[in-house]
């Protein structure tokens, strides 16, 4: 099932709405963002609001973001014995 096509029910069940975001869709969103930024820069209005990036599903769900965890919690999470000090 590793090479299931993007249009298959299996691929959509595993990846959800990310299944619709193939390389072409990602590049198109990037082009939209760059064109909006370029037009905003060339507008010459000092108080014009900066354009918002085209919404991407992985950004609203926090995919790819990082969080921190104290070392004691990390040890417990990984099942390590307590650290010697």
Where helices occur in the chain by DSSP H, the ranges are 9-15, 23-43, 57-60, 71-78
Residues in CB range of 37: below 8 A, 6 or more apart = 50, 51
Helices (H) and strands (E) in the chain, counts: 4, 0
In this prediction, residue 80 carries a pLDDT of: 86
Record the pTM. Answer: 0.60
Q: How far apart are CA 58 and CA 64, in angstroms?
A: 7
- Kindly tell me if the per-residue pLDDT of 61 is higher than 80: no
Structural domain boundaries of the chain?
Answer: 9-78
- The reported pLDDT for the residue numbered 33 is 96
The larger pLDDT score, comparing residue 13 to residue 61, is at 13
Per-residue pLDDT at 4 exceeds 70: yes
Q: What is the pLDDT of residues 12-56, one digit of tens each?
A: 888 888 888 888 999 999 999 999 999 999 998 888 999 999 988
């Amino acid at each position: 099932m590793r090479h299931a096509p993007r249009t298959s029910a299996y691929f959509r069940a595993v990846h959800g709405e990310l299944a619709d975001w193939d390389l072409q869709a990602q590049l198109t969103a990037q082009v939209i963002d760059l064109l909006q930024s370029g037009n905003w820069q060339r507008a010459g209005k000092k108080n014009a609001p900066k354009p918002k990036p085209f919404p991407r599903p992985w950004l609203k769900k926090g995919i790819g973001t990082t969080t921190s965890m104290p070392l004691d919690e990390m040890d417990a999470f990984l099942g390590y014995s307590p650290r010697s000090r």
